[in-house]
Amino acid sequence: MLRLRTAHRSVAMTTAALALAGGATIGLGGATGAQAAVRPATCTWINIGTPGNYTLNGVYAGQVEQQYNGCGTARAHWQWSTAYRTAHPNARVTVSVESWTVPVVSDTPRTQYASASADAYSYGADIHSANPDEWFADAAVIGDDGATCRYSAGGSVHAYANGSEIVAASPSSC
C-alpha cells in the first residue's frame, strides 16, 4: 500500500510541476499504461538557427533570423542596427520566410515591408506547407538614398523534420 501511495504522489507531483512549468496537460492512458501528451500552453516565438547580417554601403544595417512559434508557424525577424537607423532614418526593409527546396503556392503572404520600427517581421508560414519542411529567413534593405544590394541576406536554413541547420547563414555586403 505504501508503494502505491508513493507512486500516486510521484505522478501528482510530476503533473503539478509540468502544469506550473508551462500549462502542460497530462493524459493517462488506459490499457497501454501511462502515456503523457504535452502541448504548449501558448505559441511563443523563439529564434531558430543563425542570423544573416546585412551591410549596405560599408555600414552594418542589421540582421535577419528565422523564428518559430512552437505551433507550426515560421516567420522572418529583422532587427535594425541602431547606428544605421540613426544615420539612415528613411531606409526600408523587406523580410520574408521562404521554403528552401520547393516553391510554395499559398494564399498567405510571407513577405512584409517595414521601415518605422527597430524590428520587422514577415507574415507567418505553415512549416508543413513545403515538403521537405526546410525554411529560411530573408531580408533586402533599401537605403534612404535608394541604394540596394544585389543579394539579400539570409538566415541559416532550418530542417524542421530533424531540427538541423542544413545550410549556413548567408550575409550580404555591398
The CATH number of the domain holding residue 52 is 2.60.40
**Residues 78 and 157 occupy one common structural domain:** yes
Beta bridge partners of 120: 78
Assess whether 85 and 111 both reside in one domain. yes
Range of the domain at 10: 1-41
Domain count, the chain: 2
Residues 10 and 58 in one domain: no
Please report the pLDDT score of residue 164 as a whole number: 95
Q: Report pLDDT digits (tens) over 117-161.
A: 889 898 888 999 888 899 999 998 888 888 888 788 999 999 999
Torsion 55-58-61-63 (CA) sign: positive
42-98 pLDDT, tens digit per residue, is 899 999 999 999 999 889 999 999 999 999 999 999 999 999 988 888 888 888 888
